[in-house]
Chain A
Amino acid sequence: MSKPSDLVQGTLDLLILKMLALEPLNGWAISQRLTAVSGDVLQVSDGSLYPALHKLEQQGWITAEWKQSANNRRAKFYSLTRTGKRYLGREVANWTRLSDAITQVVKLEEA
């Protein structure tokens, strides 16, 4: 199986955190949004989403609580913690720096 669209290591965390910075979401909703926002470019398998969520929760960047979902069922909603927000800020800055740098390199004219 080729993996052309595998996420850069650590990028999934960034995407999840960013999504949760906008509003608290449950797992299914995150999965839906990721697909909707990035289209088919970033294929996040549901299989790697949940482990990532559990890891982020365990690290203290996000927190989870059980709430009523749209279809009136109890669901586990994740939201960003304060330290998570700070962490996201740092990660976004890192990402911007990194992607800018890569963009510069990629745009170099061939002599």
Chain B
Amino acid sequence: MDLPRVVRVALLRLRSLAGRSRVEEELDEELRDHLDAAIHELTARGLTPSAARTEALRALGGLEAVKEECRDRRRVGLVENTARDLAYGARILRRTPGFTLVAVLSLALGIGANAAIFQLLDAVRLRALPVAHPFDLAIVEIANRGFPPGGHGGPHSDLTNPHWERIRDRQQVFSGMFVWTRSSFDLSDGGESRFSENGLLVSGAFFDTLGVTPAAGRLLTETDDVRGCADPAVVVSYGFWQRALGGSHAAVGSRIAINGRPLRIVGVAARGFHGVEVGRAFDLAVPLCAEPIVHAGSGRLQARNQWFLAAMGRLKPGVTVEHASAQLAAISSALFAETIPPSYAPEQKQRYHAYQLTARPGASGFSTLREQYDTPLWLLLSLAGVVLLIACANLANLMLARVGARDREIAVRLALGASRGRIVRQLLVESLLLAAVGAAGAAGIAPLLAKSVVAMISTESSPLFLDLALGWRVVAFTAAVAGATTVLFGLAPALRGTRMPIEQAMRAASRSLAAGGARVTLRRALVVAQLALSLVMLAGGLMFARTLHSLSSIDPGFAREGLLQANVDLTRLNLSQEAVRAHRDQILATLRSLPAVRSAAIASTVPLVGAWSERIYVGDAMAEGLVWFNRVTPHYFATLGTPIAAGRDFGPADNISSPAVAVVNEAFVADVLRAEPIGNTFRMEEKGIPDERFHIIGVVRNTKYRSLREEPLPIVYLAQGQAPFASPFIRYFMRLNGSVAPARAMVKAALERHGAPLVFHFEELDEQIGYSIMRERLMAWLSGFFALLAAGLAVVGVYGVIAYSVQQRRGEIAVRIALGATRGAVLQLVMREAAWLLLAGLGIGLALAWSASGLGASLLFGVTTSDPVTYAASAVVLGAAALAATLIPAWRAARSGPLAALRAE
């Protein structure tokens, strides 16, 4: 029977693979037949049987070599050999669990750290929005805007609504365009607020422009967003639908309270659509026209100085971002001329008039994370890269030591007819096996590490949402790193191990004293490099730790612990100004009467997140720079714990009918007033009323206004009792007796007992401060973690080299001991070598750290990059750890008896 050739070939190959033992037997038998016949023939010619056998084998060229070649010719050699190499490699690795553990762990941690940081970087920075054709999207903003006066709502407050309405009507480059702003929605029906920080106000074309489809119901359209809409529609995200509405289809069509107004849910956005902001997943989206309904009285849609919108458009086919920029620039002049805010000072008006709209690529969406965490993440990625480098050096070192120890095995295999390529392949397969196991470990570690980083920079009130799905980028990145690592640490030792001729290898293997001088040099160089790099890491980690420490021990100018803030929102009660004042004062009195509350006050601005700035006139001249404002009741300073340096606090007598008064801080006196403060006066720019002068009645110590890092800003406190307008949104600050939790419960009960139904919400300032140094905490923890990892690896490396060198010098040491060397002398002999390695490593490391110190400088606080204490401390710690590691083999060498060592030879 003649099968088609292809089939038969396939069958034969299969047989060669599957029926390997039978094929092997047949090969054996065939060659044995041949030998028998040849020997028979040769003896017939008169040779002795043994001579005939030798001659027959010689003619064949070595039995094993022919067999190997036959296997190769069967073309299954590669698969078969690899399988055998793998099995052999696995057996070898199992036999040396210590080596395997260290190797796999350093690879897993090295690659895992890289993959995790890359995953974060990818999510924060590189990945495109999960919408249709993200690369056609462009962000529209003002190129030369700076920070104009007025209200700024949220982190992406690029435009005002008057801008948006004009851009929408005049632009010709986008097929669709929208604006959006983040908003916090209170979803409770009253009582203690349940805020979603992830509400969105979006213009009508939001979903259409992005190409998002509904998962249920319908999405918002242009017809939903008409100025003055009375019953606005709501679209919820898939996540919110599942989480808060139980994924029920009945939810579509039902109503949900948003800031106390029951609005209609019309649909659910597609699963996987999280909005256009990186790090955030939206919960609910309402049309922009609902702004006056959900934020009653804000007037943001009309105001020309309320910056709260961010714009994005989808480019028409064939239009580039540059074209779009050019057209936007062309409509800018008229647009800004029409919308100049009347309250602006002349020079500010001039600046405003020169504004130019521009477009930039918007594929990866909007992100504040990007600005905040871009540098840290790149820095962390390079730190993780260094860790991987050290891990690789460590592995190379371990592999070299193994190749050294396996000289004999390799020599024997070479002598038995194994080709050099075959041995290199075997070693390479072993390294690949290690890399694969290490990479698998890394794949387990990376998501854990990435998730804990996200948890570290997430807060309760604004949970960070990052899509950390293991995307192809991360997979490719990890695979590339693993592959490069394998070649780096696998191939070099394999080639080194087989380069020498067989005779020399045999000799070397049998006489350890003479072997591998060059190898030892390479290993020493690797260890020196490891030490140097980990010193850089340690110094960096220490600097970030000190940054965190200096930031957390900064005096914010108030006592941060035991301070509770309650935000009470009266907007839903629709009260008159008098009624707001009455409720406000009544609640304050109630809070002050609670035993858990030592003192209480009201302020318009929260410390560390303040944003109210004005220009003022001292005498007739406008003061240089901005002055920051707060409006407070009496006892505010006592409640916060800010000492009054001169003059007096506000009192009940400071009311609308009394002269306008102000308390200023010391920075105001030093930087703005530059005169005796008490009794002095100043005027505010925007008021424009020349005779409204504020009389300074007191001076308080400096406090942090916008962030912990800032230099003291000039601050003016105005009296709450003299406010022209009583805001229905009131911030109460309470200094507590005892711990927070019971006091909070007591305050909550008191607020719920209040006559009118209140909407309220608690904050703890101490916690807020913690959030404000989240980035620094992240840097300190991660760089510290990486530094410890690096140092640990380097110490293992030092140990390995010294242990190996002690083993190499066993004979020499034995002879020395036999000749009467003391233990101390042997110890010294070994330690001297270690000391040289250390000195070289630390020296190079210090130089490296010094030259690399500029990289993270912008992230540091309270510590300079040339801080000698940091460098010294890192060097001492690393040096001590490395010396301790070398003590083990040194001590072992010193204690060894001469006989044991000589016997091992």
Contact = CB atoms under 8 A, between A and B. Distances in A.
B75 interface: yes
Nearest to A58: B74
Interface size classification for chain A? 20 to 34
B12 interface: yes
Interface string B33-69: 1100110000000000000000000011110011001
Contacts of A39: none
Given A46-B61, A47-B61, A60 B33 contact: no
A55 B75 CA distance: 8
Given A45-B61, A55-B73, A50 B34 contact: yes
Interface string B70-97: 1011110000000000000000000000
A76 interface: yes
A59 B72 CA distance: 13
A41 B512 CA distance: 50
- Interface of chain B, main secondary structure: helix
Nearest to B13: A58
Interface in A21-63: 26-28, 31, 45-48, 50-52, 54-55, 57-60, 63
Interface string A1-37: 0000000000000000000000000111001000000
Contact of B33 (A47, A48, A52, A73): A73
A58 B73 contact: yes
B29 interface: yes
A46 B60 contact: yes
B652 to A, nearest CB: 105
A58 B61 CA distance: 22
B59 A47 contact: yes
Nearest to B33: A75
Interface stretch (B1-9, B748-756, B762-770): B1-9
B79 to A, nearest CB: 13
Contact of A46 (B16, B26, B59): B59
A47 B62 contact: yes
Given A46-B60, A81-B2, A82-B2, A51 B38 contact: no
B2 A26 contact: no
Contact of A26 (B33, B59, B70): B33
- Interface of chain A, main secondary structure: helix
A83 interface: yes
Contacts of A31: 34
Interface size classification for chain B? 20 to 34
Given A51-B72, A51-B73, A58-B75, A46 B12 contact: no
A83 B5 contact: yes
B30 to A, nearest CB: 5
Interface in A55-111: 55, 57-60, 63, 66, 69, 73-76, 81-83
Contacts of B8: 60, 63, 81
A59 B9 contact: yes
Given A51-B70, A58-B73, A46 B34 contact: yes
B746 interface: no
A54 B73 contact: yes
Nearest to A59: B9
A47 B34 contact: no
A24 to B, nearest CB: 14
Nearest to B9: A60
Given A45-B59, A58-B16, 17 more contacts: A26-B33, A46-B59, A47-B65, A50-B66, A51-B73, A52-B73, A55-B73, A58-B9, A58-B74, A58-B75, A60-B8, A66-B26, A73-B33, A74-B29, A81-B2, A81-B5, A82-B2
Q: Can you list the 6 inter-chain pairs with the closest CB atoms, starting with the nearest?
A: A47-B61, A55-B73, A28-B37, A51-B69, A60-B5, A54-B70
Interface of B: 2, 5, 8-9, 12-13, 16, 26-27, 29-31, 33-34, 37-38, 59-62, 65-66, 69-70, 72-75
11 contacts: A27-B34, A28-B34, A46-B61, A46-B66, A47-B65, A50-B70, A57-B12, A58-B73, A58-B75, A60-B9, A74-B29
